[in-house]
Amino acid sequence: MTDTVKFLLDESRLPRHWYNINADLPEPMAPVLHPGTHRPVTPDDLAPLFPHGVIEQEMSTEREIDIPEPVRTAYRQWRPSPLYRARRLENALGTPARIYYKYEGVSPAGSHKPNTAVAQAFYNHREGVRRITTETGAGQWGSSLALAGAMFGIDISVYMVKVSFWQKPYRRAFMESFGAECIASPSDTTAAGRAVLAEHPDSTGSLGIAISEAVEMAAQREDTRYALGSVLNHVLLHQTVTGLEAREQMAMADDDPDVIIGCTGGGSNFAGLAFPYLGEQLRGGRQRQFIAVEPAACPTLTKGRFAYDFGDTGHLTPLTRMHTLGSSFVPPGFHAGGLRYHGMAPQISHLTHLGYIRPRAYNQLECFAAGLEFARAEGIIPAPEANHAVKAAMDEAVRCRESGESRVILFNLCGHGNFDMQAYTDYLAGELRDQAYAEDEASMALAGLPTVGPPAGEQP
């Protein structure tokens, strides 16, 4: 049996700042627009939803943003997270490639999401916010925010996509254990939820609907704000702590990645690992290959349109220019709930549009097969979402076996699958099917995109 090779950073090397890729973009991003006026949003427009500290970060172009000491203290419970070299997987594949993974499953919620949850809870707490509303799909984000709320003394209300609410009772119990309130969405507690229920009483919900409910709740109350677990600039910023650590750990390993891989739902764990490296490249440094991996059943980057769209179904959020399948698109119920979102982070979309990031899509069965092969070699059962990154890393390694190249592959193992045993049970029983992407439904959703003029100076 080959030894596990693990690279651990000393606590004193926990990053002191996050990396903001807005400082290094080769072309500026299209402005975020107000949903009513279609004019660029101002900090005041966002103030009912987010604390000022977060709004500042959302719009910042500073390259390095200090991580506040209370956030570093919270991080220290599980950070710096380990970087592993997957020697046993390399042997199993017979590849000359060197495969590394950054493991974010060591956080108390089992994924990368607490990296932003504790930061957002801190800024809300500092500004006197009493309650935060949010949505959750698979339950990982709700779990992470529930944990962060308990740490900073903030009440958390989570709108959980109804199908997950019923399918994942352990996730709900996890949130409630930390004192959070968990509401199945669509619900009758909001106008957005009631509107969906009136039309589709049996709706099993979607992230887009749950976001509308959470935003509506937050906008109504002075002591309440909203938090999003992915997509927005400040979330991707907070996640860069993983890539900043990984850079140091790769130096400890005396190696340097040629290929960097992450799964993409809203884009935050991928960005967290990739952006510190991509920023180097944008400043004239080494070029690398960046691969964003998504489910073929919700192929936002590979089949979506790069256009202005709403972040939610109820059209309460600002408009951002991103890859989208249309805000009314409801992806089929495959088992990587964290990847079922119609849109993509505007920063990821922008950099994909400019050719810096290569997107790729896989079906769920091939991802579960890869995840089990990984688990049997490395001893960690990946989250179903993370299996997409595992599959891409293994494909790259197999390609190296065929070409004889010894490339260095780094991927984000963004969470463990210990809460997702039902998915593995179904897979092992042969009950999972690949879900086709509903081309016609998506084209209907795309036909409903808002009409917004192209930014000044650009061709339509």
Ligand X SMILES: *Cc1c(COP(=O)(O)O)cnc(C)c1O
Question: Which positions touch ligand X (CB under 6 A)?
Answer: 111, 113, 140-141, 230, 263-270, 338-339, 383, 385-386, 414-415
The CA distance from 260 to 258, in Å, is: 7
Q: How far is the CB of 192 from ligand X (least distance, A)?
A: 22
The CA distance from 412 to 274, in Å, is: 9
Contact 314, 454 (CB under 8 A): no
Q: How far is the CB of 387 from ligand X (least distance, A)?
A: 9
Q: Closest CB to ligand X among 190 and 230?
A: 230
Q: Closest CB to ligand X among 105 and 407?
A: 105
Q: How far is the CB of 322 from ligand X (least distance, A)?
A: 13
The CA distance from 353 to 322, in Å, is: 9
- The neighbouring-strand residues paired with 295 are 362
Contact 363, 294 (CB under 8 A): no
Identify the residue whose tokens are 């400890």: 252
Check the CA dihedral 384-139-205-230 and report its sign: negative
Q: Closest CB to ligand X among 107 and 133?
A: 107
Q: How far is the CB of 456 from ligand X (least distance, A)?
A: 31
Q: How far is the CB of 390 from ligand X (least distance, A)?
A: 11
Contact 325, 300 (CB under 8 A): yes
Q: How far is the CB of 279 from ligand X (least distance, A)?
A: 18
The CA distance from 218 to 93, in Å, is: 50
Contact 367, 384 (CB under 8 A): yes
- The neighbouring-strand residues paired with 155 are 131
Q: Closest CB to ligand X among 97 and 207?
A: 207
Q: What are phi and psi of 49, to 5 degrees?
A: -105, -35
**Residue 453 CB contacts under 8 Å (≥ 6 apart), including other chains:** none
Q: Closest CB to ligand X among 93 and 413?
A: 413
Q: Closest CB to ligand X among 95 and 364?
A: 364
Identify the residue whose tokens are 């993974």: 101
Q: How far is the CB of 406 from ligand X (least distance, A)?
A: 29
**Residue 160 CB contacts under 8 Å (≥ 6 apart), including other chains:** 135, 136, 139, 142, 171, 172, 182, 183, 184, 185, 210
Q: Closest CB to ligand X among 205 and 338?
A: 338
Q: Closest CB to ligand X among 122 and 141?
A: 141
Q: How far is the CB of 270 from ligand X (least distance, A)?
A: 6
Q: Closest CB to ligand X among 51 and 272?
A: 272
Q: What strands lie across the sheet with 181-185, from one edge to the other?
A: 181-185, 155-161, 131-136, 224-226
Q: How far is the CB of 173 from ligand X (least distance, A)?
A: 17
